[in-house]
């Protein structure tokens, strides 16, 4: 695999772009303002809370769902479980990096997960909101909770958005699937009473902000990885060469016996 900072070879022309376009700057600014305003609406009495109460009391209640549907939705939400989903789809990032002969897909994944954990975790701690399983009061904030914004939903946006971003083929299809999962996981989380509706909206905004911010951080991370690889390469190259030589001899021996 090519080193991260290395000049792209002809076979790596399909590398996922990390250039910052003007529309991304505008979108990031707009979504950041919306996220701040929406979070203030969660912290103070507003239409955000009234929407939560309306959704909770009128539509999605655990006691109105059939048991089989409740159990199914509870499992479906695991599409947004950060640890589980990341482990399941990690081979796709490894395979894509191998096909591109470049580590950028893996660097993007690591940087995105760091940004996601730091940004979402900080807001969760600052808001301290309790979820509908612990209270019927949507305004229970600064209570030591960690329900806003929804980490499951934010992770769904980031992980499946990244998969669409780095995909070598069918990017439009993967983008549509990512949008579907982000919406459906959010709705499912509300239906099984793990989140208020505003937690879901906050998760959508938080996840989108991470994706938009990614191009600002990936180039620096690539330079760090390239510098680290340059330091360890002299010690690893002899081992790699010996392994390649053993593999070549084994294949030659296998071919000779055929």
Q: What DSSP string runs through 189-214?
A: HHHTTSS-HHHHHHHHHHHHHHHHHH
Q: How far apart are alpha carbons 18 and 222 in whole angstroms?
A: 11
pLDDT of residue 96 exceeding 80? yes
129-174 residue pLDDT tens: 998 888 877 788 888 889 999 999 999 999 999 999 998 888 899 9
Tokens 């959010």: give the residue: 186
Structure tokens at 198: 């505003």
Structure tokens at 132: 């509908």
pLDDT score at 168: 85
| pLDDT higher than 80, residue 24 | yes
Q: Considering the entire predicted model, what is its pTM?
A: 0.82
Question: What is the pLDDT at residue 217?
Answer: 93
Say yes or no to pLDDT of 66 above 70.
yes
Average pLDDT over residues 191-211: 94
pLDDT at 68 over 90: no
C-alpha span between 245 and 180 (Å, rounded): 47
> What angle do helix axes 171-191 and 151-166 make, rounded to 10 degrees?
170
Rounded CA separation 86/113 (Å): 9
Residue 218 near residue 86, CB atoms below 8 Å: no
């Amino acid at each position: 695999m090519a080193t991260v900072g290395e000049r792209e070879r002809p076979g790596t022309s399909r590398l996922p772009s990390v250039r910052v376009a003007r529309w991304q700057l505008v979108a990031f600014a707009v979504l950041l303002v919306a996220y701040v305003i929406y979070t203030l609406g969660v912290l103070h009495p507003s239409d955000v809370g009234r929407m939560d109460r309306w959704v909770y009391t009128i539509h999605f209640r655990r006691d109105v769902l059939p048991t089989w549907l409740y159990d199914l939705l509870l499992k479906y939400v695991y599409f947004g479980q950060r640890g589980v989903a990341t482990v399941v789809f990690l081979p796709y990032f490894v395979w894509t990096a191998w096909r591109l002969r470049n580590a950028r897909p893996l660097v993007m994944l690591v940087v995105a997960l760091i940004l996601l954990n730091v940004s979402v975790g900080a807001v969760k701690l600052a808001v301290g909101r309790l979820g509908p399983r612990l209270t019927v009061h949507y305004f229970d904030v600064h209570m030591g909770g960690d329900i806003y914004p929804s980490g499951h939903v934010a992770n769904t946006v980031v992980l499946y958005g990244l998969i669409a971003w780095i995909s070598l083929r069918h990017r439009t299809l993967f983008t549509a699937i990512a949008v579907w999962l982000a919406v459906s996981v959010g709705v499912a989380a509300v239906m099984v009473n793990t989140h208020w509706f505003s937690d879901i909206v906050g998760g959508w905004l938080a996840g989108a902000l991470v994706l938009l911010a990614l191009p600002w951080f990936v180039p620096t991370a690539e330079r760090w990885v390239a510098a680290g690889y340059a330091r360890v390469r002299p010690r690893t190259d002899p081992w790699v060469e010996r392994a390649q030589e053993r593999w070549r001899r084994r294949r030659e021996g296998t071919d000779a016996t055929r």
